[in-house]
Amino acid sequence: MPRRAKGEGSVRYRKDLRAYEIRITVAGSRKSVYLKGPKTRENDRKADLLRRKLALAYGLTPLEGTPPPLLDWLEAHAEALRTEGRRDNTLYHYGRYITLVKQHLGNPVLDRLTPEALEAFYRRLVSLGYSQSVITHVRNFLHGAYERAIRYGRAGQNPVDLARLPRITPREAGREITEEELERILAVARSHRLFAAFYLLAALGLRRGEVLGLTWPDVDLDRGEIHIRRALVPNLLSGKTVLGPTKTSGSNRTLPLPEEARQVLLEHRTRLIEDRLYHPEGLVFPSINGTPLRPENLRRTWTTLLQKAGIPKARLHDLRATFITRIIRQTGNPKLAAALAGHKSLQTALQHYAKVTQEDLKATLKSLRLLPDPWSPDRG
């Protein structure tokens, strides 16, 4: 094992766990991070590299000489966030952001990155076709990394605060699916084995992963309730589909089942029993092999249904946006729509999901009166 400086953590191999244990002490509290694998010379090197990254990120490396290069710091920052519980898909995106920095910003010393260089970097990403969302996420990742650098004395100021994002033409957002279109889609899907999944996406505004993550214990057909507790999503790091927590803590919710939705699920359960795919503890929407249904397969089925129904291009996620928009339109209560959809932030529901149609504008302005009625008998 390579030598390490005092106070910068330790590494030992745990035979009982078949993993390396990297231990560091931060503000008097000991942290243990594990790297699974057999004890080999290569894994020795990887474990010590992880220790050095964590020591750097948590300010355990002596403040001698110049600050670290930007890329070293970003990688250390990402590893620290891993130990703090960031999800695998979030970590995958952090890796993407670091790659973009390496390719288009370079590797200056941490405290020598200028706002001008950052603004040029953002403009470069725009020219390459990256969306406003991606560029904003890159910016936020860099901002967090520099806040850590300031906290541990590696930088004096945050250049991200001084750099402005360029104006970016928003990409075409999703659209509201009309009632007539939705009726045609559901009519085409009625005989499909996944009809109930599309119905729930439209009727309750669930996320794709929430529908695919439903198990029968989550569905109380007697009380007419459905519990959203987990989601089936692709793990971008491993490439596998995993059943895990919902998108945010606010996404966990219990929704009442309208009688129509209850009947749809009863029919779906009967079909699963006939196909020998039903298990009282199993998934509500398994594949034909009884395994978890991959999200991309549900999306492909959706595309096929649109073609059969003769519907213009629409995203599967547009069912959710349509649900939120109609709840707001019918009730005038955005907070209610956000609660039903599992949004912690009311602003998210309004900014990214609620749609406004020409008919909404006409209905709003229809009764507008600023002048006396020219046909009123009181005039003249």
Given a cut of 80, is residue 117 above it in pLDDT?
Answer: yes
CATH number of 179-357: 1.10.443.10
- The pLDDT of residue 374: 59
- Which residue matches tokens 């129509």? 260
In the predicted model, what is the mean pLDDT of residues 55-69? Answer: 89
- The pLDDT of residue 33: 94
- Residues 117 and 66: their CA atoms lie apart, in Å, by 20
Q: Which of 8-22, 87-101, 140-154, 320-334 has the lowest mean pLDDT?
A: 320-334
- Residues 92 and 207: their CA atoms lie apart, in Å, by 21
Q: What region does 332 belong to: left with phi over 0, alpha with psi -120 to 50, or beta?
A: left
Given a cut of 80, is residue 373 above it in pLDDT?
Answer: no
Within 222-275, residue ranges assigned H as helices are 259-274
Given a cut of 90, is residue 2 above it in pLDDT?
Answer: no
71-171: CATH topology = DNA polymerase; domain 1 (1.10.150)
Q: What value does the mean pLDDT of the chain take?
A: 89
- Residues 35 and 18: their CA atoms lie apart, in Å, by 9
- Which residue matches tokens 């507790």? 229
What is the dihedral angle through the alpha carbons of 80, 85, 89, 90, rounded to the nearest 10 degrees? -50
Measured between alpha carbons, how far apart are the two ends of the chain, in Å? 100
Domain extents in the chain? 1-62, 71-171, 179-357
pLDDT tens digits, residue range 24-59? 998 888 989 999 999 999 999 999 999 999 999 999
- The pLDDT of residue 354: 53
Class for the domain spanning 1-62? mainly alpha
- Residues 316 and 299: their CA atoms lie apart, in Å, by 7
pLDDT tens digits, residue range 308-345? 999 988 999 999 989 988 988 888 888 888 888 887 66
Task: Using alpha carbons, select from 234, 226, 238, 323 the residue that is nearest to residue 266.
Answer: 226
Given a cut of 90, is residue 204 above it in pLDDT?
Answer: yes
Given a cut of 50, is residue 253 above it in pLDDT?
Answer: yes
The pTM (predicted TM-score) of the whole model is 0.77
Beta bridge partners of 33: 22
